Amino acid sequence: MTDRTTIPGSWPRSDRRLPLSELLARWPFLQIAPLLTFLSVVFVLPVGGILVLSLFDAHGALTLENFSRVFKTNLYVSVLVRTIQTAAWATGICLTLGYPVAYALSKANAGVRAAILTSVLVPLWTSFLIRNLSLIIIFGRRGLINVTGLKLSWLDHSIAFLYNWNGVMIGLSSSLLPLAIITMYSVMEGIEPNLEKAASTLGARPSHGFWRVYFPLSLPGVAAGGILIFVSALGFFITPQLLGSPRETMIAQLIIEQVTEVLHWNFAAAISAMLLLATLISFFLFDRVVGMHILTGEEGDQHPSRLNRMLRRGGMKLINGISWITASFGLVAEKLTGRTVKLRQRVSRPILSMVSLAIALFLILPIFCIVPISFSNSLLFGWPPQGFSLRWYTSVLSSPIWVLAFWRSVGIAAITSLMAIAIAIPAALFLVRQKTRAKFLIILLLTIPIFLPHIITAVALFYAYARFGLIGTWVGLIMGHMVFALPYATMSLMAVLKNYNRSLDYAAWTMGASKFKTFRYIMLPIIKPGVYGAFLFAFIQSFDEVTISLFVTGGSFTTLPKQLYQQAVYGASPELAAVSTLLLALILGFMLIANSVGGTSRRV
Amino acid sequence: MNRRQFVKIAALSGATFPLPAIVGRASAAGETLYVADAGGAYTESYKKVIYTPFTASTGIDVVPVVRPAQALAQMKTMVETQNYTFDVHGAAGLDEGVRYDAEGLSERIELPRSIYDDLPDSIRNVPGFYPDSVAAFATVYRPLATKRDLKRVADIWDMSIPGVRSLRTGGRDNIEWALRADGVPAGPAIINELKTKAGWERAFRKLDEIKPKILTWWSTAPQSAQLLQAQEIDITATYANRAATLIRQGENLKVLWNEGYYTAYGYVIPKGNPKVHLVQKLIEFSLDPKRQAALASELMQGSASKSAFEFIDKKVLEYVPTQPDNFKQMVPLDVAFWGENLTKSNELFNQWLVK
């Protein structure tokens, strides 16, 4: 152990071993160093090498021609603007719909919570290749809703859910709502339930208690969820293409076309640079209007701009106003019925449950459509399923390729997410606690891998890996997946850490606990929902990732998504449905066990 | 989750997905070829007809590898870094073959005279591209929805014919189809029309007419099949073998061969691949007329080898593009022209589309 007799104020000489905690206290920068080092080596350098291509022409001479081409037609700018609009809408919708569900989750009893959580978590495990197909089955022109509605004469003509703006929002929210719900839920889990009771004891009506006490405390979750959804939506292109109209063409689609179809990488790099710039501006506006501090804590900026102060005050007034409006409903109800109704119990609760139920159904129904298809005897993935057969199960379970791919993907996802969490916890602590302007840039950097088309990262990594013999290796694939897992893990951890009360640490230290013990026995149990959430997101990112895997692994090295892609690229067959159903059964079993073993304790 | 829970869960997952007894296949005495083909049902047919018999006769293992639908970027990275994650790109389009050659990414080999002579002239002369099938892109419709038979591409534009329309996204096929609909005969006349700016404008004016009637612009061939099968759309233009597969599954669809185009699919070897001599063996093996015919019968595609035609299963002949009645109604796709105009046509189309 270290020599404890050092004179206060002086630091041990370098030949003595310094406890990690003291090192970190002296150089807090060390907490974020692993994250920055990793991203620099595995993302910034390789991808930067591709992006600088935008400054050169096909013969390697310096030019601005690629950028002037972006502005030559209004195609790229208008698609870029619409991409940002689409992402912003998706963010708004997911947060608005997700908030009541997350709230219901944090207030519900164990049984209801398990049911909602299941319907939120299960869709995450269905490959994006299949999710879009199942949405067509439900919402299509001849989909289940329209056919049923027409048959029962509820509708007199079919509703155009798809191939328009609605279709894109249906597609994006079915993919991104779980992310919104889990991020917000993990923060709400940490909000002390007695605070609302305390407010009530002091005479606040329930709506005041909610809007002025609970809601502000839940904002870090809203902010983290919002940023993650916004950048994820920015990078989506298959869903808008399948379910939207040309008006919802996403910029990623145009970049990918330049990379894979036309091979104009210099131009693709220029469009990507514009996407980066546009996102930077969006982040900057978000910071000015709402304030990144909701997520990151104060930024050492003691003198926020007047606009910012005005907006913050305005925001508080708005919340205040809402709380009075909702409170007045309660007052009116009391006047009308002549007795003190607990409006919250009588009206809010059922409404909350109905909204949550509807959203849960929206998330889970398309997934359950897949089950009957997996027993189909047809060669095609289609509705209604034809015949009955177990052939697709036999073919999946008897194939060593599928089984091997499954285990390999589980292994890769497990290592990826554990390593991502190990890097993300100190990084999130740093980002929430330290006062530095660089935070803003670090968060932007973290999110770039999500919205930059994955193909660019894949191409960049291929060149980098080729130099170090990493192509076709586990290490290479895991490092590639970590690039996408880290942002989700870090952001969701930041959200729970933002509300963590540091006095608890000080209390533990005063009572003699070491820094490690404080972390292990005080902080970790409190931020557990966030750690589970972070692990889940990181795991899924790796478990569903296909572009990097297609590029950097070859030969007989396959992963589950690669194997699914192999089946889907020529045409989806019920075999895909069989794989999804097996995964579904596995996850349901997993949750059932976790719930029965975990009993009534609150766990994700 | 505690450790006990974890053990239970692990046990459960083990029951669903048994751990593989053999981790990885012990490699055969010979060498292994990694073939990046089209995946799914395509791979299954190739395994049966080509890969397995090839291994039996040469001792060379063949392992199908997954590749993106568009593998140009991957080929470029592989060739530039000399790292080959696959040895040959199967099911590459003739148009892609032109691109690979222009970018210097494909390896050239010399096919034996007897095999070369058996390939149609229109598809055998792109250097570095070795065709093994002929595909048709044609109008496909649902007679129950249209109430009558379609006779020409212009009928897609005729709104007195009922049915939900959809077309493939991208410049080339839409410009080709629009000019056909506007009365330009398929083939060289269209290319001629496009020599002038007025010709391009004419195509987009024709597309303006149909734009509001298009439910969705599909982007991949399987997506077109999915839309037809889900009855989301009734009229489109797509690959004939997609329609044929649906018809075999009981869908009520018809193919209008008239004014369609045909093109080839085949092999491209990434430049500098040291296993090029092994790949050549595989290509020659797969161009055997009987094997070509077996593939055509399974996948309902046309054979590249001319003499394969007589061996094709008579039951599927109706849907095979190289069947003379079908073939004579179509024209070859001008891959040279569209190769040069790929960027221009796509950019103009995208601009027009998002307008």
pLDDT in tens, A75-88: 999 999 999 999 99
Alpha helix locations (H) across A434-572?
A: 438-451, 454-468, 474-498, 502-510, 515-518, 524-543, 547-552, 560-568
Amino acid at B132: D
User: How many Å apart are CA B84 and CA B70, to the nearest integer?
Assistant: 17
Assigned token pair, B18: 């048994």
Asked if A266 has any chain B CB less than 8 Å from its own CB, the reply is no
| Summary mean pLDDT of chain A | 87
Contact present, B57 and B247 (Cβ < 8 Å):
no
8 Å CB contact of A569 and B164: no
Q: What's the rounded mean pLDDT across residues B77-95? A: 96
Among the residue ranges A94-103, A173-182, A295-304, B255-264, the one predicted with the least confidence is A295-304
Q: What's the rounded mean pLDDT across residues A565-585? A: 90
CATH of domain A21-296+342-598: 1.10.3720.10
8 Å CB contact of B346 and A406: no
Q: How does pLDDT run across B231-281, given as a tens digit for each residue? A: 999 999 999 999 999 999 899 999 999 999 999 999 999 999 999 999 999
Interface of A with B in 65-104 (CB under 8 A): 73-75, 78-79, 82
Residue A597: pLDDT band with limits 50, 70, 90: low
pLDDT at A589: 87
Residue A8: pLDDT band with limits 50, 70, 90: very low
DSSP conformational letter for B217 = E
| pLDDT top residue among A572 and A306 | A572
A561 pLDDT higher than 90: yes
B14 pLDDT higher than 70: no
Q: What's the rounded mean pLDDT across residues A32-39? A: 96
8 Å CB contact of B12 and A261: no
8 Å CB contact of A558 and B66: yes
User: How many Å apart are CA B75 and CA B268, to the nearest integer?
Assistant: 10
Q: How does pLDDT run across A494-542, given as a tens digit for each residue? A: 999 988 888 999 999 899 998 888 989 999 998 988 899 999 999 999 9
Q: Name which of A21, A32, A4, A11 is nearest A509 in CA terms.
A: A21
A603 pLDDT higher than 60: no
Q: What's the rounded mean pLDDT across residues B117-133? A: 95
pLDDT at B26: 37
Hey, is B128 helix, strand or coil? coil
Structural domains for chain B: 32-135+263-324 (3.40.190.10), 136-261+333-354 (3.40.190.10)
The residue with tokens 């239970």 is B8
User: How many Å apart are CA A471 and CA A46, to the nearest integer?
Assistant: 14
Question: Smallest Cβ distance to B39: which of A140, A262, A570?
Answer: A570
Contact present, B224 and B242 (Cβ < 8 Å):
yes
Asked if A30 has any chain B CB less than 8 Å from its own CB, the reply is no
Q: What is the 3-state secondary structure (H, E, C) of A236-270?
A: CCHHHHHHCCHHHCCHHHHHHHHHHHCCCHHHHHH
Among the residue ranges A198-207, A463-472, B284-293, the one predicted with the least confidence is A198-207
Please give the helix or strand (H or E) that residue A227 lies within, else none.
helix A215-235
Q: How many beta carbons lie within 10 A of that of residue B247, not counting itself? A: 17
Interface of B with A in 228-267 (CB under 8 A): 229-232, 242, 245-246, 249-250
The residue with tokens 């572009």 is A547
Q: A408: number of CA atoms within 13 Å, CB side?
A: 24
- Cα nearest neighbour of B26 on chain A: A556
Residue B12: pLDDT band with limits 50, 70, 90: very low
Check the CA dihedral A241-A246-A248-A253 and report its sign.
positive
User: How many Å apart are CA A271 and CA A253, to the nearest integer?
Assistant: 11
Assigned token pair, A344: 């919250």
pLDDT at A453: 95
pLDDT at B280: 97
| Summary mean pLDDT of chain B | 91
Q: How does pLDDT run across A113-170, given as a tens digit for each residue? A: 888 988 999 888 888 888 888 999 999 998 999 999 999 988 888 899 999 999 999 9
Question: Which neighbouring-strand residues pair with B237?
Answer: B139
The residue with tokens 């949550």 is A356
Interface of A with B in 149-168 (CB under 8 A): 162-163
- End-to-end CA separation in angstroms for chain A: 38
Question: Smallest Cβ distance to A263: which of B5, B103, B229?
Answer: B103
Hey, is B93 helix, strand or coil? strand
Q: Which residues contact A182 (CB under 8 A, 6 or more apart)?
A: A102, A120, A121, A492, A533, A536, A537, A604
ipTM value: 0.89
User: How many Å apart are CA A425 and CA A489, to the nearest integer?
Assistant: 8
Contact present, B109 and B276 (Cβ < 8 Å):
yes
Best of A53, A256, A379, A380 to disrupt the B interface (most B CBs within 10 Å) is A380
User: How many Å apart are CA A27 and CA A571, to the nearest integer?
Assistant: 55
pLDDT at A4: 44
8 Å CB contact of B219 and A550: no
pLDDT at A345: 59
Angstrom CA distances, A325 to A322, A375, B283, stand at: 5, 53, 76
- Length of chain B as a residue count: 355
- Length of chain A as a residue count: 604
pLDDT at A303: 55
Q: How does pLDDT run across B161-190, given as a tens digit for each residue? A: 999 999 999 999 999 999 999 999 999 999
pLDDT at B17: 44
Contact present, A218 and A187 (Cβ < 8 Å):
yes
Q: What's the rounded mean pLDDT across residues A544-559? A: 90
pLDDT at A302: 52
Question: Which neighbouring-strand residues pair with B113?
Answer: none
CA A56 to chain B, closest CA, distance in angstroms equals 18
CA A208 to chain B, closest CA, distance in angstroms equals 36
B28 pLDDT higher than 50: no
- End-to-end CA separation in angstroms for chain B: 53
Check the CA dihedral B306-B308-B312-B314 and report its sign.
positive
Q: Which residues from chain A sit within 8 angstroms of residue B235, using beta carbons? A: none
pLDDT at A326: 79
User: How many Å apart are CA B217 and CA B209, to the nearest integer?
Assistant: 15
DSSP conformational letter for B258 = E
Query: What percent of chain A lies above the pLDDT cut of 70?
Result: 92
Angle at B57 between CA B56 and CA B63, to 5 degrees: 55
